[in-house]
Chain A
Amino acid sequence: MTVHQETRESTVATTGTDERLLQAVASDNRPHPPNAWSSTTAFATRALLRIKHVPEQMFDVTVFPIIFLLMFTYLFGGAIAGSTSDYLQFLLPGILVMTVAQITMYTGMDLNNDIRKGIFDRFRTLPIWLPSALIGSLLVDVIRYSLASVIMIGLGLLLGFRPEGGVVGVLLAIVLVLIFSFSLSWIWTTLGLIVRSEKTLMMISFMVLMPLTFISNVFVDPVTLPTWLQGFVNSNPISILATAVRGFMQGTGTWQHVASVLLVSAIMTGIFAPLTMYLYRNKK
């Protein structure tokens, strides 16, 4: 009985909006599908709005770098370099690389979330240039990485970090970090499309990033390592980037540094960006 009453009420309630509804759906305005640039900015706007509504997601680029920098400077400084301020000169460029590399994995997690929630299906049925969905959010991630870099360098300067490369050197170093991180993100988007859950993705990225960032020249000079390990450390992409960033911050950066970072970035993007797009299009 109650069910019947409710039904009648709802009919009454909606008749008022019926005409408006008909008008809204009868509109035959059919704009041209957007070009790549407008769809990319639309997706970037979405990512910015998400930051506005879920500000706690900025923890990874604000609190995380501060903790990392303080922790490693004061934990290892005395033991490794004899003094924390000496160690900071060596550590800061490396820890910047490590931190930003670690937060790239959130890109994959966001994508993985989208897929499980169904919004992914909606995007895929839209008449748009599909890569814009990913590029839009990656561009906003680059802003996030820049913020993390600025925070770390700012804190470093307060703690006594004195980059001899000057402003230009530091800016060049940051640009290299951003290019590298943008390229590294494609690995996580690929994984984000393959794995079933956020947890799995987190585990895999942890297993990859942990050894990659620690077995590198971020914390120690590789000459102290056994030779077999030196080979790995020197060819590790994180070391390549850390060397270049350290070089430019200390004023000893070379074009060779730039070239090797660009090469590593190009390889990662070249393999994983197309792979991501293939999986994005053909996801079951």
Chain B
Amino acid sequence: MNEDTTSLQTGDYAIEARGLVKVFGNERAVDGVDLTIRKGTVYGFLGPNGAGKTTTIRILATLLPADAGNAWIFGNDLKTDSAAIRKRISLTGQYASIDEDLTGMENLMLIARLMGYSRRQAKTRAQELLLAFGLGHAAKRQVKNYSGGMRRRIDIAASIVVTPDLLFLDEPTTGLDPRSRNQVWDIIRTLVRAGTTVLLTTQYLEEADQLADKIGVIQHGKIIAEGTSSELKASVGRGTLNVQLAHADDQQRAWSILENLLGAPIHLGADSTSLTAQADDSALVAKVLSEFARQHIELSDLSLGRPSLDEVFLKLTGQVSEQQQDSGRDIL
């Protein structure tokens, strides 16, 4: 089949959206979003708070009518065929979309009944899901007594009582500890293996990097960049050189060497001994190092890396991302 066909009839796409707009008062929360998401893939919406991620998801999940533009979910028109769409999608919202006063078992049984299971089938399915999600021990506990990670899992379990063809996950790991976050990631990967298409939003670059086949960076309601993680990284530049000086006195000399040889802007780290510059050519990097040696500038650390998504994000949005400080990728 022709890869470039964008016709609505090919059936290759889970989502095709054209020019979606949503205005709240004076604010254009979603401002002309085009989107094509291939079946069976994970698409990550990356953007700061208030960028329009949640609004876009709510439009696509039939919860909010768009003011302009339209979308097709598995070829079904969002405007005219929301009932058909609801049979194939599921949404896990940003806030727990389950009844916290009920137990895990009761919650899953309620959703199963509402999906059309008989009372007995609903019970079997709920039990199966609780075990699969590692919540068997908490089946009879009220959800309000669950930990953050457990709550998130029961929430996702409720979304897949009938395995959806398309799952919307709004910030699935926000506020979770690393262990719970990894569990949620495993669940998402398993869902994709089973054939579900996933559209997730996240503020975390690492999450997009880990899970998404394709990433859309969204800001002020517009998709400002789109591509695979490597494509986005490549769009910023080939790499960066990071040197850590052993002596702060050498800073001036190191700076001028980098400036002369690389001809790129240099960023000074917080501790004034760490310098970072864009380095597109590894031959130049070798020259820099030999020049340092010649001038007896001692280094305590050195790294050469591809740009991280953090840098992509920073460059694209002009904003510092949540995880900027944590990103380290030493090669020495």
Residues of chain A touching chain B, judged by Cβ–Cβ distance below 8 Å, are 3, 6-7, 9-11, 14, 17-18, 20-34, 38-39, 42-43, 45-46, 49-50, 53-54, 117-119, 121-128, 282, 284
Contact = CB atoms under 8 A, between A and B. Distances in A.
Given A18-B186, A117-B96, A23 B178 contact: no
Given A32-B116, A121-B63, A122-B159, 19 more contacts: A11-B186, A21-B187, A24-B129, A25-B190, A25-B194, A29-B125, A31-B115, A31-B116, A46-B106, A53-B142, A117-B95, A117-B96, A119-B96, A121-B61, A121-B97, A124-B63, A125-B61, A127-B115, A282-B65
Contacts of B93: 118, 121-122
Interface stretch (B13-21, B83-91, B316-324): B83-91
Nearest to A116: B95
Interface string B51-91: 00000001001111100000000000000000100110111
Interface string B105-135: 0100011011111000100010011011110
Contacts of B163: 25-28
Contacts of B106: 46, 49
B280 interface: no
B101 interface: yes
B100 A117 contact: yes
B91 A125 contact: yes
A18 B194 CA distance: 12
A22 to B, nearest CB: 5
Name which of B93, B159, B191 has the most chain A CB atoms within 10 A of its CB: B93
A125 B89 contact: yes
A50 B143 CA distance: 12
A50 B102 contact: yes
Contacts of B110: 42, 45-46
B134 A17 contact: yes
Nearest to A284: B64
B62 A125 contact: yes
Q: Is the interface of A mostly helix, strand, loop or mixed?
A: helix
B294 interface: no
Interface in B152-183: 158-160, 162-163, 177-179, 182-183
B97 A31 contact: no
A35 to B, nearest CB: 9
B115 A126 contact: yes
A135 to B, nearest CB: 14
Contacts of A34: 113-116
Given A31-B121, A122-B97, A122-B158, A14 B183 contact: yes
B99 interface: yes
A3 B131 CA distance: 26
B267 interface: no
B99 A119 contact: yes
A219 B237 CA distance: 81
B27 to A, nearest CB: 13
B94 interface: yes
B132 A46 contact: no
B238 interface: no
Contacts of B232: none
29 contacts: A3-B178, A6-B178, A7-B178, A10-B182, A14-B183, A18-B186, A21-B132, A22-B190, A23-B132, A24-B131, A27-B125, A33-B116, A34-B113, A34-B115, A39-B113, A42-B110, A46-B106, A49-B106, A50-B99, A53-B103, A118-B94, A118-B97, A121-B58, A121-B61, A121-B63, A121-B91, A121-B93, A121-B97, A126-B115
